[in-house]
Amino acid sequence: MPKSSIYLFYGLESYLIEQKIEQIIHQRLPFEEREMNLITYDLQVTPIEEVIQEAETLPFLSEHKVVIAKNAYFLTGQKANTKVEHEIESLERFLENPVDYSTLILTVFSEKLDERKKITKILKQAATVESFATLKGKELADWIHKIAQTEGIEISSDAAQFLIYTVGEELQILNQEIKKMALYVGKGGKIDQKVVKELTARTLEQNVFSLVEQVANLEIDQAIRMLYDLLKNKEEPIKIVALLAKQFRLMLFAKELSQKGYSNQQIGNHIGVHPYAVQLALQQGRGFSEQELKGIIKKLAEMDFEMKTGKKDKVLALELFLLSLTRMKSK
C-alpha cells in the first residue's frame, strides 16, 4: 500500500477532519460501492487487530475499500474511556506490509500525539499524518471568506466577525449559516452585517446585548418591547439579570483596559471573549462613565439578591431597572 493510502488525522477540529475523510472517500470509492466497502470502526469498542483484519480482507465486488478507525487514543497520552486492549503489533505489521486494495484512515480527537511511542514514529514514516487545530482569529475569518467564495458570494469582514460573535466558532454551524445566507443573497450577492442580523438565530445573550444597545441609544420603547418578548418566550428574569451584569462588566473592563492602551485583541485574550465582542462593548460603553457602570453592576447584584429571596417581583424589578437606565442616559 502506498503511503498515500494510509492516513492519520488528529486535532480538535473534528469538522475539518470529517471533510478530509469525505474527500478521500469521494476519490477512492464510487457511490454505489460504498455500502459494502466503506467500513467505520470505533477503537473504543473494537480492538485495532479487527480493523487490520478488515483492511486485509479483499473488497466486495470492487477494486478498493476504505476502512476508517476513529478514537485512536492509544497514539496519544490521553486515557481512553474504554476497557478494550489493542494489539499494537498487528498495526505495526500492517504498516510494514500493507495491501494495495485498502485505504486505512485513523483519527483521534486530540491536540497532539505521544511522540515517544514507537507506533507513532512508525506511522509518521509510513502514513500521511495531518493535524487539524481549531481555527481562531484570522485563520477562522479566512475560512469563512473561502466558504463564501465556494458558494459564489462575498461576505464583508465586519459581517464575518459578527457571524462568529453571533453563532460561535463551530465550523459546521458557520458553514450552515453561510449556505443559508447565500441562498438569501443569491449568486454574486454580498453578505453584510445587516443580513447576518436578520438571518442568524439569536441567543438569549445576543438579545440581552441588543437590549443594552437600545438603552445606550435611548431607544427605550424598543428596549421595553424586547424585554417583554423575552419574558413572553419564557426566559427566566434571573438569567436575564445575570447576562445584563455580564455585559455591563464587559463594558467596564473593556473601557478600563482600553484606556491603559490595550488593543481589542489583548483585551479579548485577557477577559476571555472574542475581540469583536470587545469592540461592541467599547461602543456601548461610550455612553456611560466608569462610575455609572460600577453603579449599574452594583444595582444588578442587589436586584439578583432581591429576586432570589423573593423581596421583589422579578418582572417589575427589570422594568424599574430599565427605566432607571433611561433616566441616567437622558441626563
Structural domains in the chain plus CATH codes: 3-132 (3.40.50.300), 137-199 (1.10.8.60), 204-330 (1.20.272.10)
Query: DSSP states of 144-156 as a string?
Result: HHHHHHHTT-EE-
Closest by Cα among 244, 213, 232 to 318: 244
pLDDT tens sequence across 167-214: 888 999 999 999 999 999 999 999 999 999 889 877 777 788 888 888
What is the chain's mean pLDDT, rounded?
90
CB-facing half-sphere around the CA of 306: CA atoms within 13 A: 16
Number of C-beta neighbours around residue 46 at 10 A: 18
Q: Element (H or E) spanning 220, and its range? A: helix 220-232
Residue 240 to residue 222: CA distance in whole angstroms: 16
* Span of 7-11, 12-16, 105-109, 283-287 with lowest mean pLDDT: 283-287
DSSP reduced 3-state for 326: helix
Portion of the chain with pLDDT greater than 90, in percent: 65
Question: What is the pLDDT at residue 71?
Answer: 95
Biggest CA–CA distance in the chain, Å, is 81
Quote the CA–CA distance of 274 and 209 in Å, as a whole number: 14
The three three-digit cell numbers of residue 36, written as one number: 459494502
Q: Answer whether residue 273 shows pLDDT above 90.
A: no
Partners of 39 in beta bridges:
67
Confidence tier at 2 by pLDDT (50, 70, 90)? very low
Task: Output the nine-digit C-alpha cell for 315.
Answer: 418582572
Sole residue written with cell 441588543: 210
Radius of gyration (C-alpha) of the chain in whole angstroms: 27
What would the mean pLDDT of 298-308 be, rounded to a whole number?
93
Q: Which pLDDT tens digit goes with each residue over 91-146?
A: 999 999 999 999 999 999 999 999 999 999 999 999 999 999 999 889 999 999 99
Q: Which pLDDT score is estimated for 86? A: 94
DSSP state of 44: T
Q: How many CB atoms lie within 10 A of CB 72?
A: 26
CA separation for the pair 265, 159 (Å, rounded)? 18
Three cell numbers written together for 157: 469582514
d(CA 284, CA 199): 23
In the prediction, which pLDDT does 63 show?
93
**Region 51-57: what's the mean pLDDT?**
97
Q: Which candidate, 100, 30, 40, places its Cα nearest to that of 61?
A: 30
Residue 3 confidence (pLDDT) above 70: no
133 within 8 A of 112, measured Cβ to Cβ: no
C-alpha cell at 308: 432570589
Cell of 29: 470509492
Length of the chain: 331
Q: Where are the beta strands (DSSP E) in the chain?
A: 6-11, 38-42, 65-70, 102-108, 128-132, 154-155, 190-191
Choice between 219 and 76, residue whose per-residue pLDDT is larger:
76
Average pLDDT over residues 287-309: 92
* Straight-line distance from the first to the last Cα atom of the chain, in angstroms, rounded to the nearest whole number: 77
Q: Is the pLDDT of residue 55 over 80?
A: yes
Residue 220 near residue 289, CB atoms below 8 Å: no
Does the pLDDT value for residue 265 go beyond 50? yes
